[in-house]
Amino acid sequence: MPLSNDTLTFECETGNYHTFCPISCVAWLYQKIEDSFFLVVGTKTCGYFLQNALGVMIFAEPRYAMAELEEGDISAQLNDYQELKRLCNQIKKDRNPSVIVWIGTCTTEIIKMDLEGMAPRLENEIGIPIVVARANGLDYAFTQGEDTVLAAMAHRCPDRNSITCSAPTAEERLLSYLPSKEKQSKERKNSSNHPPLVLFGSLPSNVTSQLTLELKKQSIHVSGWLPSQRYAELPSLGEGVYVCGVNPFLSRTATTLMRRRKCKLIGAPFPIGPDGTKAWIEKICSVFDIQPIGLEEREKQVWNSLQDYLNLVRGKSVFFMGDNLLEISLARFLIRCGMIVYEIGIPYMDKRYQAAELALLEKTCQEMNVSPPRIVEKPDNYNQVQRMRELQPDLAITGMAHANPLEARGISTKWSVEFTFAQIHGFTNARDILELVTRPLRRNLSLEQLGWTGLVKRNKLNA
Amino acid sequence: MKIAYWMYAGPAHIGTLRVASSFKNVHAIMHAPLGDDYFNVMRSMLERERDFTPVTASIVDRHVLARGSQEKVVENITRKDKEERPDLIVLTPTCTSSILQEDLQNFVDRAAMTSQSDVILADVNHYRVNELQAADRTLEQVVRYYLDKAHRQESLNQPITEVPSVNIIGMFTLGFHNQHDCRELKRLLQDLGIKVNEVIPEGGSVENLRNLPKAWLNLVPYREVGLMTALYLEKEFGMPYVATTPMGIVDTAKCIREIQHHINKWAPILLGKLVDYEEYIDQQTRFVSQAAWFSRSIDCQNLTGKKAVVFGDTTHAAAMTKILAREMGVYVVCAGTYCKHDAEWFKDQVQGFCDEVLITDDHTEVGDMIARVEPSAIFGSQMERHIGKRLDIPCGVISAPVHIQNFPLGYRPFLGYEGTNQIADLVYNSFTLGMEDHLLEIFGGHDTKEVITKALSTDSDLTWDTESQAELSKIPGFVRGKIKRNTEKFARQNGMSKITVEVMYAAKEALNA
């Protein structure tokens, strides 16, 4: 093992790694925000990716579509504004959403299509809010797509300090005036013992209610979530509002909330795994000066219930190739579970936003008496495969492009994408993470005696 | 701009990558932003490929936008040259690099000077051609490059083989049942005493491309990819080619007769006699393949006049239309293809075998047509299968685009005589399922007798508050019952009478353990 010193080491490689394009965030966001419509302004390449990556979902008449750019758009023979207006009118007619989200892509960046400039004009003209997020592969990886969308949405949240003028456009005022006023008066009633708290990060609705409940047990009231189930229910923000992230890839959103909406950020580890969840709640409690009740027992109880899985993973080694930014939190949890982490590949490392998580990782390594793993930013997949050949980890957490070839070479893999789509937050879902992590290990147990692990011809092993 | 939810044919670079990664020891480097290497996932997942897909990206990021790729592309090419020693590196432009308008040819020329591998730039315009056209073009480009090279090295002047031989052109990774078709064609040619000279690109080596002219003729089984190469070889080397797809009994025979025709140009000189495949065709048709007999059997009689719709790529949609109409007596109301660039050929092929022809790449138009026609069965791509699901019409998948279930592990060719059997099964199964469906509808289900059971939990002692009821309703239908039972069981065990959301999650945790 190339591990020696006791502090975390950070490296940066070439950035030649496989990940999903950030436009994939439409897949979960359109389902999360029920009254939205996502329009991806891009080329056939983007469309092909979405269609294949999202598989069957496309046949369920999704609330997303491509605005496919043609040669005339690229060479500016067609007027962008008129074209987008035509498509958005069609969307309005067919689906009548409460918000249209434009997803800017690599192509709109390169031809410098002024989406941010056109959106307010068109918004006024057609009477539907248009949010612009530049989720492109030039700047971002996979889950960071959600970050760009939420950062853009943060600007649209009503201002809690001016009730009468809560929304930027006339149309929006008309739509959201009453509910938001009602909501705000309700918030005031409930938030008597601590300042308002808004959580950010898109999670399935039952996971949001689980986390909300956990905080309620500590008599902390969650005033709202960004994003909310409906666009019209976005939480109100402003000075005096505390915000806390639930996912490690939301650094732009955090920055926007702090700088533009004047919110106070609670920097906590992320509620992934029982250790993370406990630390997350403790941090929020400490900010509000609340003594947490029963957290220790709660965590212990969850660990006890995981015993069978812990027996499977203890002492096993794991290698994160890195593609979705959940890596630090997952590695921290797995080290606590008794695993040895060789390498944490990660597309992008925001040391400020993830500071508390990194500190917890370091602390966990000390407590579990293992050397801290190397953290490799912008990894190089080719080099990683070479390292894996040396290290022979028991498990590689990797993208689908490498999973089958690694399996054929006798290295067990788990697709990293599943961690993005599974429910992994809070005490309740700790088991689901281990369910995923142990699946290849359990598969190995059942196929162990067959002697079929190396399934490539010998001369191809190095290929 | 056009609004699009779904597309039949992918972007151009996919076609190029399919050619490159089909060859042995050829590496493709995409000039593309992060995330555009989705091709690797498709190949690894759909084909269940054991080897790393030989495609990497030279990433276009913000810095590249600001300063140009400069050394980056060249470095990536020379690096790959050292790491893997491929025979050929294909630099592949994408939609992004097309608009950057960097001089990629210049990068290729520079990289070629220092690397052991050959390096070429795929000559495809992203905004003008689709996946299939690009694949056709790239294959021709690679073949041309290596034959020119051989010509310069004067290693080309090889005589044609002593026994009749053919090149099979157009077998591909991610092609619809291509691997099975390839095996079937080899078997067919072996039966005819014909040697397979080279198969390209799948499994072929670029170093062997110089051997292509040794074959007596070329066989291009699929209309979409390979024709350009065949035309080039005809022009440069006078090699004849057969482009009749051997799909269905009639066209398989036609294809074999065309092969015979070309072989007999050389046979008297090199073999000292003419070849005659009529006996073979007759035996196969009547006794080995079951399809001819099937079309005579009473099963197939019941299909007579049944309405069908066909949609797919040109090769499969045209062949399928002819099989249904000509060999099975099925009434094809509408046949269509998404290969708009080859519409004339398609219309010509299906003329007289169907009422209407639909040329479109808009799946809603196809859906509307199917809804209007109300056929008893559809033969199309995965898209049509889903349209069929929605309209309750059975669908047999006959063409790309496809899902993982269209990469079966078992032997399922569409071409040759075994292919005719597979197609007969596919057609028959699609229609009978349809009939079964109608019968079920008439009698209202598989068994009309009502099953009377007591509910597992009685509601008397437990109440769900409104919040927990709402939470319960959010849980997907197929597990809701189980969750409800488990929660109630948990509540009873713990002596609770009211079920709140807290109780629900406590139950979930307790029962998980």
Subunit contact B5:A78, Cβ cutoff 8 A? no
> How many other CB atoms sit within 10 Å of the CB of residue A342?
23
Q: Testing the interface with B: which of A30, A80, A138 to mutate, by most B Cβ within 10 A? A: A138
Q: Does B128 touch chain A (CB under 8 A)?
A: yes
Burial class (CB in 10 A: 0-12, 13-18, 19+), B102: middle
Torsions phi, psi of B176, nearest 5? -70, 110
Kindly report, residue by residue over B159-212, the tens digit of the pLDDT: 899 999 999 999 999 999 999 999 999 999 999 999 999 999 999 999 999 999
Subunit contact A16:B59, Cβ cutoff 8 A? yes
Q: Give the 3-state secondary structure of residue B408.
A: coil
Q: Is the pLDDT of residue A336 over 50?
A: yes
Look at domain A22-140 and name its CATH class.
alpha beta
Give the count of Cβ contacts less than 8 A between chain A and B.
181
Subunit contact B96:A58, Cβ cutoff 8 A? no
CA B10 to chain centre: 11
B481 falls in which pLDDT band (50, 70, 90)? confident
Cβ partners under 8 Å of residue B376, min gap 6: B306, B307, B308, B393, B394, B431, B434
Please state, in angstroms and rounded to a whole number, the distance separating the CA atoms of residues B227 and A347.
43
Question: Which chain B residues are Cβ-neighbours of A400 within 8 angstroms?
Answer: 41, 44-45
Helical segments of B38-130, H only: 38-46, 62-67, 71-84, 95-100, 104-114
Q: Is the pLDDT of residue A179 over 50?
A: no
Q: Are B345 and B314 in contact (CB under 8 A)?
A: yes
- CATH 3.40.50.1980 domain position(s) in chain A: 22-140, 193-288, 295-461
Kindly report, residue by residue over A278-313, the tens digit of the pLDDT: 999 999 999 999 999 999 999 999 999 999 999 999
Q: Is the pLDDT of residue A33 over 80?
A: yes
What number does CATH give the domain A295-461? 3.40.50.1980
Kindly report, residue by residue over B324-383, the tens digit of the pLDDT: 999 999 999 999 999 999 999 999 999 999 999 999 999 889 999 999 999 999 999 998
Q: Is the pLDDT of residue A462 over 50?
A: no
Kindly report, residue by residue over B396-447, the tens digit of the pLDDT: 999 988 888 889 999 999 999 999 999 999 999 888 666 666 666 666 555 5
All structural domains of chain B, each given as residue ranges with its CATH number in brackets, are 12-129 (3.40.50.1980), 165-274 (3.40.50.1980), 293-431 (3.40.50.1980), 463-512 (1.10.8.550)
**Residue of A22, A58, A109 lying closest to B35 (CB–CB):** A22
Q: Give the 3-state secondary structure of residue B218.
A: strand
pLDDT at B443: 61
| Of B391 and B419, the one with more pLDDT | B419
| Of A33 and B472, the one with more pLDDT | A33
Cβ partners under 8 Å of residue A71, min gap 6: B127, B128
| Of B29 and B451, the one with more pLDDT | B29
Please state, in angstroms and rounded to a whole number, the distance separating the CA atoms of residues A328 and A322.
10
- What average pLDDT does the segment A145-169 reach? 80
A-contacting residues in B 398-427 (Cβ below 8 Å): 403
Please state, in angstroms and rounded to a whole number, the distance separating the CA atoms of residues A75 and B4.
20
Side-chain-facing half-sphere of A385: CA atoms under 13 Å: 21
pLDDT at B446: 55
Q: Give the 3-state secondary structure of residue B403.
A: coil
Look at domain A193-288 and name its CATH class.
alpha beta
Torsions phi, psi of A289, nearest 5? 60, 45
Q: Which uninterrupted H or E stretch holds A368?
A: helix A355-368
Please state, in angstroms and rounded to a whole number, the distance separating the CA atoms of residues B426 and B312.
16
Question: Which chain A residues are Cβ-neighbours of B509 within 8 angstroms?
Answer: 302, 305, 427-428
Question: A252 pairs with which residues across the strands?
Answer: none
> How many other CB atoms sit within 10 Å of the CB of residue B226?
28
> What's the token pair of residue B40?
């690797």
Strands A64-68 and B2-4: antiparallel
A429 falls in which pLDDT band (50, 70, 90)? very high
Cβ partners under 8 Å of residue A83, min gap 6: A67, A73, B1
In B105-164, beta strands by DSSP E: 118-121
Task: Name the residue among A400, A383, A264, A378 with its Cα closest to residue A327.
Answer: A378
Sheet strands side by side (includes B55-59): B55-59, B26-32, B88-93, B118-121
Cα-Cα-Cα-Cα dihedral sign, residues A250, A251, A252, A256: positive
- What average pLDDT does the segment B209-224 reach? 96
Length of chain A: 463
Active-site residue set of B: 299
Length of chain B: 513
Q: Are B139 and B232 in contact (CB under 8 A)?
A: no
Fill in the DSSP letter of residue B161. P
A177 falls in which pLDDT band (50, 70, 90)? very low
Q: Give the 3-state secondary structure of residue A125.
A: helix
Please state, in angstroms and rounded to a whole number, the distance separating the CA atoms of residues B52 and B173.
13
Peptide bond into B401 cis (omega under 30): yes
Q: How far is B49 from chain A (nearest CA, A)?
A: 7
pLDDT at B70: 76
The mean predicted confidence, pLDDT, of chain B is 90
B467 falls in which pLDDT band (50, 70, 90)? confident
pLDDT at B438: 66
The mean predicted confidence, pLDDT, of chain A is 89
Q: Testing the interface with B: which of A24, A49, A143, A305 to mutate, by most B Cβ within 10 A? A: A49
Q: Give the 3-state secondary structure of residue A195.
A: coil
Residue linked to tokens 């010998």: A458
Q: Are A332 and A363 in contact (CB under 8 A)?
A: no
Subunit contact A45:B4, Cβ cutoff 8 A? no
Question: Which chain A residues are Cβ-neighbours of B476 within 8 angstroms?
Answer: none
Please state, in angstroms and rounded to a whole number, the distance separating the CA atoms of residues B205 and B399.
27
Q: What is the ipTM of this complex?
A: 0.87
Kindly report, residue by residue over A198-235, the tens digit of the pLDDT: 999 999 999 999 999 999 999 999 999 999 999 999 99
Cβ partners under 8 Å of residue B175, min gap 6: B18, B202, B222, B400
Q: Give the 3-state secondary structure of residue A402.
A: helix
Percent of residues in chain B assigned helix, strand, coil, to nearest 5: 55, 15, 35
pTM of the model: 0.88
| Of B43 and A187, the one with more pLDDT | B43
pLDDT at A167: 43
Q: How far is B5 from chain A (nearest CA, A)?
A: 5
pLDDT at A178: 45
